[in-house]
Amino acid sequence: MGNLLLGYGTGLSLIVAIGAQNAFVLRQGIRRHSVLAVVAICALSDAVLIALGVGGVGAVVAKFPDALKVIGVVGGGFLLCYGFLAARRAVRPHALVPAAGGSTVVTCLALTWLNPHVYLDILLLGSIAAGSWSFALGAVLASITWFSALGFGARLLSGFFARPASWRVLDGLVAATMVALGVTLIAGI
């Protein structure tokens, strides 16, 4: 039980940090657009990554730092593009309307799997877990809890985001976060 709780707490401490993925989940939740798909992709991806970390793949990732550099450049470029799109939305905000488009799943997958911090988290979780699958289960439960609360709880903010000015503020914050993360990733390489 102790490893399960340790995994849950450690998982939450890594997942709750403000970043591209959480901003995207929040935005989709507010818009009520593909929330179940977004939450499922994030939680399932985390489950796979956590299992890989606890299973020892983190040691393999550590042996290929050039792979992390490539992921950093691609992920940084993606975040910069996403940030500039958010900045454009901030300049021309709209009221809350569900948007059509099939890019939600692709964007969610990219924000999850092209983020080099995810691979650093695998190393960290793997080293803390030391092969404990109850720790891994706790971290997976933390991921499911967080993404479900963020995605489905965001609908409570939909009244506030019925005004274009509210979207301007959110998209401005998202743009600043994405551009800062993108620049940090690329500059750190």
What range does the domain containing 27 cover?
2-187
Amino acid 100: pLDDT: 44
58 and 123 Cβ atoms separated by less than 8 Å: yes
Highest mean pLDDT: which of 1-5, 86-90, 143-147?
A: 143-147
Other C-beta atoms lying within 10 Å of the C-beta of residue 70: 12
pTM for this entry: 0.78
CA dist list (Å): 93 to 25, 26, 30, 109, 120: 19, 17, 14, 25, 35
Mean pLDDT of the chain: 84
Sorted by sequence, the CB contacts under 8 Å of residue 155 that are 6+ apart come out as 29, 30, 32, 35
DSSP H stretches of helix in the chain:
2-15, 20-31, 35-54, 57-62, 65-91, 103-113, 116-129, 133-153, 164-187
Amino acid 189: pLDDT: 65
Question: How many folded domains does the chain comprise?
Answer: 1
User: Which two three-digit tokens encode residue 174?
Assistant: 């998202």
Other C-beta atoms lying within 10 Å of the C-beta of residue 23: 23
Confidence of residue 52 (pLDDT cuts 50, 70, 90): confident
